[in-house]
A and B are shown apart, each in its own frame.
Chain A
Amino acid sequence: MDDYQTCPKCKTTKYRNPAMVLMVNACGHALCESCVELLFAKGSGACPECKCPLRRNNFRVQLFEDPAVDKEVDIRKRILKEFNKRQEDFPTLREYNDYLEEVETIIFNLVFDIDPAGTNKMIDNYKKENKDITQKNRNRQSQEEMELEELLEAEKAQQSEKANLYVNAELEEKKQKHKAREKLIDELMFSDADAKSIVASHVQATAALAKEQPKAAAQPSSGVVKSSKFSSGVQIGLRGQHTNSFLPIPKQEDLPLYRYTAPVFDYDGPPPPAIEKLGKLNYFANIRAANITERAGGYTEAMSCCRALQEALGGLFYSPQLTHKTAVLATNSSTQDTDDMETT
């Protein structure tokens, strides 16, 4: 991400020379370390960009991406050393806020070189006026800082306490286990009871203990990804070399699509009663009811009854003398019924 950092003087980039370090001085212009050594061999010189006089020992490593921020922070630190009044030094919050803004303006002016003479005068005035308070405040932490320090202290204390606690708990557990084992051995050696029952009771006791402190079930971390085909990088078929391990479902050849044509029946008989009415007409009295297994498959007694009736009535009108014509007529009238029956 820092690859595009370039030294403005020698044009070296971080990409070409990973060891390059950019430095900044009071003016906020960056220079790489070797350029600094070259240009400021005498200990002082002018900034190659803004020509302002600089000292070599004031060069620091650039911390931020934008060197202007480095410069600002630098100025800010210097100013805040002097302007260190706290809220407690002001009668009202409003005045404190006004003071804060004033400080901010001074810093802003210094950073952007607005009215340097006036600003410096202001700083000097302030220094003179507030010498005592500045001196006093230097040794005093602000309330906020103290709060933060306290919090951090508390956190640290808690952490060490916790660490102790866990170490102790672990030791305790180990001890207990050891004790239990020794107890078992003792009992086996000296007690008169049956060895089996002693072991059984021991197993129970340890199980109860284990239940109290169940071990964390280690959840696996992401395993090693072996190959790539899925989004997470798993290939379909681990040994992808002989891929024909997958047997495809045999394909059928393309045949013309099947078309349904209603079959024509020579029924030759009176139409049997409809399947829904069989129950009402009391036909089921003579038939075994379907059992549970059969009903699960969708079978009902009405089906077989209907079938039997159809068979019984079909062909009753058949007579060999009649010509084929009448038979066709009869079927025409009864196709409706038979069709229904097919679909049910």
Chain B
Amino acid sequence: MKLNVDGLLVYFPYDYIYPEQFSYMLELKRALDAKGHCLLEMPSGTGKTTTLLSLIVAYMKAHPLDLTKLVYCSRTVPEIEKVMEELRKLMNYYEKEMGMEQNILGLALSSRKNLCIHPSVSKEREGKVVDGRCYSLTASFVRARHAADDAVPICEFYEGFDAHGKEFPLPPGVYNLDDLKEYGQTKRWCPYFLARHTITHANIVVYSYHYLLDPKIAEVVSKEISKSSVVVFDEAHNIDNVCIDSMSVKITKRLLDKCSNSITILETTISNMKENDSKRLEKEYKRLVEGLRDATIARETDMALVNPVLPSEILEEAVPGTIRTAEHFVAFLKRVVEYIKTRLRVQHVVQESPAGFLRDIHTKVCIDRKPLRFTAERLASLIRTLEISDLTDFSPLVTVSHFATLVSTYTKGFTIIIEPFEDRAPTVSNPILYFSCLDSSIAIKPVFNRFQTVVITSGTLSPLDMYPKILDFHPVIMTSFTMTLARPCILPMIVSKGNDQVAMSSRYETREDTAVIRNYGNLLVEVAAAVPDGIVCFFTSYLYLETIVSSWYDQGIIDQLQRHKLLFIETQDAAETSLALINYIKACDNGRGAVLLSVARGKVSEGIDFDHHLGRAVLMFGIPYVYTQSRILRARLEYLRDQFQIRENDFLTFDAMRHAAQCLGRCMRGKTDYGIMVLADKRFSRADKRSKLPKWIQEHLKDTNCNLSTEECVQICKRWLRQMAQPFSREDQLGISLLTLEQLQSEEMQKKIQQRAQGV
């Protein structure tokens, strides 16, 4: 249908629209008009993706000069594929309505592993190996060598792309990963480089977060995206952790040992080269003396190594004299590695700031800050000069060089923690150096600065005001949308006590208490007896899950449970978990019904949907706080408190509640779906926790349902399930939660939508 969104003609590829989708478009348009950033929360299953795409594409068509590109960041490959499907639907609709080919090019980009069509390289399973092998076939020096000697293998697909692909742009259309591969096969061009090349002029790019947030990758892939783009981060409730991970480095003893090996390799290669072909080293040296930036850096295939973010004024400077020649640099690296080795030889935990580290490295091994800063770039240059084609071995050394560069560049927002052993096994010596980023705004800052509009959206972003604080930006629009529902499809309840009136809680003091464990068990058994099909339970940690299950065995609760449903458990082993999931789905499909015990923050809680019969009820046993004794977390909390005035407790609760909301949201994947959400902990009923749930859950959480016992909970469930089991058709939804064009345009509805948009 064709919509009029605040004066903008939007083609929407479906015949019906949800009212909240329309409000979402209104808000999004306002943000685009204002050229500012926005934060939008809309429940999963209400068609966020298609709403975003149709509005932004319409906006691009209407204002081709203001908005040139959409960069859509998603988390996983399946999610990327889903976005591409929606986009294809939208473009087909455009074509049908306008009757001509649309001049819009949309494409998905993923790693080499997912895009490679080289017959042998694509067989490799590990991403790093594929990258390494690709590099060894396509690096500029390998190709130069091939020109001299035909025996040197190269990739014919890359050659094809290099010879022809650059002149012929990809014809307009929508290309997902498979389409790209197919196109590559027919043309005999490398799809990966084709996609990377096309990014610069494509209208819509869909790829993973890391291509934008990880400075090491962003530099290569997303450098040339213009300012007049809109960037969308979908499922962005964990975006702060992604930012932090992309800037943090972890160094273990084994990694350092590997580094020493690679340094020896470097040494021998240098001495070999000096004997046979000293010209190249001289050339590199001269270039560095001149202070020129690497001319070959523009060669796209050579970019397997890039330095993490450096302020550009530093990059302009010449490499310092201490590390200019290859031998000096290798000796320098050796000193750095040996120094870190000595630092790892600690007996107790050490925490220090980057400044302290720099001072110590200066006094111990006489290394200044400046050469350290250039380590990553110098190493990249050296490896290129030495024409080392197998990069996989060098990844440890690259990690260390990144560490050196980061530690000397940033003095604020980072901390160094050296732990001699893990907390769990204090007798086994396993020293690890964590260079941990405490400030999630560092990694995302360039994104906010560079692009005119950044949209952060997810099903669970509550409490919204936390994100601008921790990401340090000023959104122009910050809105949470609820779901309009024709019937109360979700039933959130807080169960605070068992039938025996003993309070239920996962608090540390009571978690070993048999009464609490028994009450949790009884709750599950009774819910399992009342609820048909699948039930998903979330525990706060693997350890807690396993302790509880083991005592349930003793208490006979498992036996009772198995009379009603089959039981599956998520474990830390990914293969085991996916097997359990497959069988869980099978059991639900059969109508046998099943219970899945899993862990908040685990694989199941992120990204696996339990729609319809797969998840009729979700039980959250306890509040999923993070492990607060971790030193990295402690350091981060302290930093947040000092820099952003966020109190420890606020952040911990925020983090716990967003994960709880993520878990609860698993069972609601659309408007025809329905599900029970049981929060089994006394503490959930406190105002500070309750108010942090997403609005669409809070709306259905009545005061009467906030302090229930097991028995009351089961009664309410039964009554509600009977109501939900009534036949439900589209006609029931029409006019309330699903609108036709006429209904949408009716004055009354417009007024309602306006109100909603202003109210929030």
Chain A: residues with CB nearer than 8 A to chain B?
1-2, 63-66, 69, 72-73, 76-77, 80, 93-94, 96-105, 108, 111, 144-145, 148-149, 151-152, 155, 158, 162, 211, 214-223, 225-227, 230-232, 234-239, 245-247, 249, 292-293, 295-297
22 examples of A-B residue contacts, CB within 8 angstroms: A64-B338, A69-B365, A73-B365, A97-B321, A100-B320, A101-B324, A102-B321, A104-B325, A105-B328, A155-B355, A215-B649, A217-B625, A219-B625, A219-B628, A219-B652, A220-B511, A223-B547, A230-B550, A232-B543, A292-B723, A293-B722, A295-B727
Interface segment, B451-459, B552-560, B588-596? B552-560
Contact of A234 with B627 in the complex, beta carbons under 8 Å: no
* Contact present for A104 and B328 (CB under 8 Å): yes
How far is A80 from B363 in the complex, measured between Cα atoms in Å?
12
- Cβ–Cβ < 8 Å partners of B355 in chain A: 148, 151-152, 155
B317 contacts across to A, CB distance below 8 A: 93
Residues of A within 8 A of B547 (CB): 223, 226, 234
Is A221 a contact partner of B331 (Cβ separation < 8 A)? no
In the complex, are the beta carbons of A222 and B508 less than 8 A apart? no
B312 CB to nearest A CB, Å = 17
Is B334 on the interface with A (CB-CB < 8 A)?
yes
Please tell me which stretch of B189-197, B366-374, B380-388 contacts chain A, meaning at least 4 of its Cβ atoms lie within 8 angstroms of it: B366-374
Residues of B contacting A246 in the complex (Cβ-Cβ under 8 angstroms):
553, 558-559
Asked if B289 is at the interface (CB within 8 A of a chain A CB), the reply is: yes
Assuming A144-B368, A236-B550, A296-B723, what are 11 further A-B pairs, CB within 8 angstroms? A66-B334, A72-B331, A76-B366, A93-B318, A96-B321, A105-B325, A152-B355, A162-B642, A222-B627, A234-B549, A237-B553
Q: Judging by beta carbons under 8 Å apart, are B364 and A296 in contact?
A: no
The residue in chain B whose Cβ has the minimal distance to the Cβ of A68 is B334
B546 contact set on A, CB distance < 8 A:
230, 232, 234
Q: Are B411 and A69 in contact (CB under 8 A)?
A: no
Asked if residues A219 and B328 are in contact (CB atoms below 8 Å), the reply is no
Does B133 sit within 8 A of A, measured CB to CB? no
B399 within 8 A of A: no
Tell me the complex Cα distance, A234–B551, Å: 10
Flag whether B341 is at the interface (Cβ < 8 A): yes
Query: When chains A and B are docked, how far (Å) is the Cα of A238 from the Cα of B548?
Result: 10
In the complex, B359 has a CB within 8 A of chain A:
yes
Q: Please indicate the chain A residues that have their CB under 8 angstroms from the CB of B328 in the complex.
A: 101, 104-105, 108
Q: A residues within 8 A CB of B358? A: 148
Q: Are A222 and B543 in contact (CB under 8 A)?
A: yes
- CB–CB B324/A238 < 8 A: no
- Asked if B253 is at the interface (CB within 8 A of a chain A CB), the reply is yes
Binding site for A on B (CB under 8 A): 253, 289, 291, 317-322, 324-325, 327-328, 331, 334-335, 338-339, 341-342, 345, 353, 355-356, 358-359, 362, 364-366, 368-370, 411, 423-424, 429, 431, 507-508, 511-512, 542-543, 546-547, 549-551, 553-554, 556, 558-559, 562-563, 571-573, 623, 625-629, 642, 648-649, 652-653, 683, 687-688, 721-723, 725-727
| Contacting residues, chain A, for B542 (C-beta < 8 A) | 230-232
| Closest beta carbon of chain B to A209's beta carbon, Å | 14
Query: How far is it, in angstroms, between the C-alpha of A110 and the C-alpha of B553 when the chains are bound?
Result: 71
| Chain A, residue nearest B653 (CB) | A217
Distance of B342 from chain A, by nearest CB (Å): 6
Q: Is the CB of A63 within 8 A of B342?
A: yes
Whole-angstrom distance from the CB of B331 to the nearest CB of chain A? 7
Q: Which chain B residue has the least Cβ–Cβ distance from A96? A: B321
CB distance from B55 to the nearest CB of A (A): 40
* Residues of B close to A72: CB separation below 8 A: 331, 335
Task: Check A296 against B508 for contact (C-beta < 8 Å).
Answer: no
- Given A63-B342, A162-B642, A245-B556, residue A223 in contact with residue B318 (CB < 8 A): no
- The complex places the Cα of A341 from the Cα of B369 at a distance, in Å, of 86
- CB-defined contacts of A225 to chain B, threshold 8 Å: 543
Are the CB atoms of B554 and A245 closer together than 8 Å?
yes
In the complex the two chains form, is A236's CB within 8 Å of B553's CB?
yes
Residue of B whose beta carbon sits closest to that of A295: B726
Given the complex, which residues of A lie within 8 Å of B345, measured CB to CB?
1-2
Partner of B722, one of A73, A77, A232, A296: A296
B508 near A220: Cβ-Cβ < 8 Å: yes
Interfacial chain B residues near A239, Cβ < 8 Å: 554
Cα separation A214 to B683 with both chains bound (whole Å): 13
Q: Are A217 and B553 CB-contacts (below 8 A) given A148-B355, A148-B359?
A: no
The minimal Cβ–Cβ distance linking A107 to chain B, given in whole angstroms, is 9
For residue A221, which residue of chain B has the nearest CB?
A: B629
Cβ distance A276 to chain B, nearest Cβ, rounded Å: 15
Q: How far is the CA of A219 from the CA of B339 in the complex (A)?
A: 36
Q: How far is the CA of A76 from the CA of B338 in the complex (A)?
A: 15
Q: Judge whether A223 and B543 touch: CB under 8 Å.
A: yes
Given contacts A148-B355, A219-B508, contact A214 B649 (CB under 8 A): yes
Give Cα A226–Cα B649 distance, bound, in whole angstroms.
Answer: 30
B562 adjacent to A218 (CB under 8 Å): no
Complex contact B543–A155 (CB within 8 A): no
A108 and B327 contact, CB distance less than 8 A? yes
Give the 3 A-B residue pairs with the shortest CB-CB distance, closest first: A220-B508, A100-B321, A97-B321
Q: Which residues of B contact A234 (CB under 8 A)?
A: 543, 546-547, 549-550
A305 to B113, CA, bound (A): 62
Cβ–Cβ < 8 Å partners of A215 in chain B:
649
Q: Which interface residue of B321, B365, B549, B562 has the most chain A CB atoms within 10 A?
A: B321
A239 to B556, CA, bound (A): 13
Chain A residues with CB below 8 A from B688, complex form: 211, 214
Contacts of A100 in B (CB 8 A): 320-322
A227 to chain B, nearest CB (A): 8
Assess whether A97 is in contact with B625, with CB atoms less than 8 Å apart: no
Q: Which of B335, B511, B571 contacts A230 (CB 8 A)?
A: B571
Question: What residue in chain B is nearest A101 (Cβ atoms)?
Answer: B321
Chain A residues closer than 8 Å to B687, beta-carbon distance? 211
C-alpha gap A91/B369 in the complex (Å): 21
Nearest Cβ distance between residue B614 and chain A, in whole angstroms?
A: 20
Cα–Cα, bound, A286→B198 (Å): 70
Residue from A99, A155, A249 in contact with B562 in the complex, judged by beta carbons closer than 8 Å: A249
For A2, the chain B residues whose CB sits under 8 A away are 345
Would you give the shortest CB distance from A76 to chain B, in whole angstroms?
A: 5
Cβ-closest chain B residue relative to A2: B345
By the criterion CB–CB under 8 Å, are B727 and A245 in contact? no
- Whether B550 lies near A94 (C-beta < 8 A) is no
Residue of B nearest to A100 (CB): B321
Q: Which of B289, B291, B366, B648 meets A73, CB within 8 Å?
A: B366
Which residue of chain B has the shortest Cβ distance to A297 in the bound complex? B725
Closest beta carbon of chain B to A1's beta carbon, Å: 6
Q: Kindly identify which residue among B320, B324, B366, B411 contacts A80, using a CB–CB cutoff of 8 Å.
A: B366
CB–CB A108/B341 < 8 A: no
Given A76-B366, A80-B366, A249-B562, verify A65-B727 contact (CB < 8 Å): no
Contact of B291 among A1, A94, A216, A232 (CB under 8 A): A94
Contacting residue for B512 out of A73, A80, A223, A235, CB 8 A: A223
The reply to whether A231 and B573 contact each other, CB–CB distance below 8 Å, is yes
Closest beta carbon of chain A to B268's beta carbon, Å: 15
Give the residue of A65, A151, A219 whose beta carbon is less than 8 angstroms from that of B341: A65
Chain A residues contacting B573 (CB-CB under 8 Å) are 231
- Nearest CB in chain B: distance from A311 CB, A: 27
Query: Closest residue of chain A to B650, judged by CB?
Result: A214
In the bound assembly, the distance between CA atoms of A232 and B542 in angstroms comes to 8
Name the A residues within 8 Å of B320 (CB-CB).
97, 100
Q: Which of A65, A97, A232, A249 contacts B318 (CB 8 A)?
A: A97
* A residues in contact with B572, CB < 8 Å: 231-232
State the Cβ distance, B39 to closest chain A Cβ, in Å: 25
In whole angstroms, what is the CA distance A226 to B547 when docked?
9
Which residues of the other chain, A, contact B648 by a CB distance below 8 angstroms?
Answer: 216
Centre residue among B319, B364, B553, B726 by max chain A CB count within 10 A: B553
Measured CB to CB, the closest approach of chain B to A144, in angstroms, equals: 5
B338 touches A69 (CB 8 A): yes
With A80-B366, A93-B318 given, is the CB distance from A64 to B341 under 8 Å?
yes
With both chains docked as a complex, state the minimum distance between the C-beta of A64 and any C-beta of chain B, in angstroms: 4
A101 to B101, CA, bound (A): 62
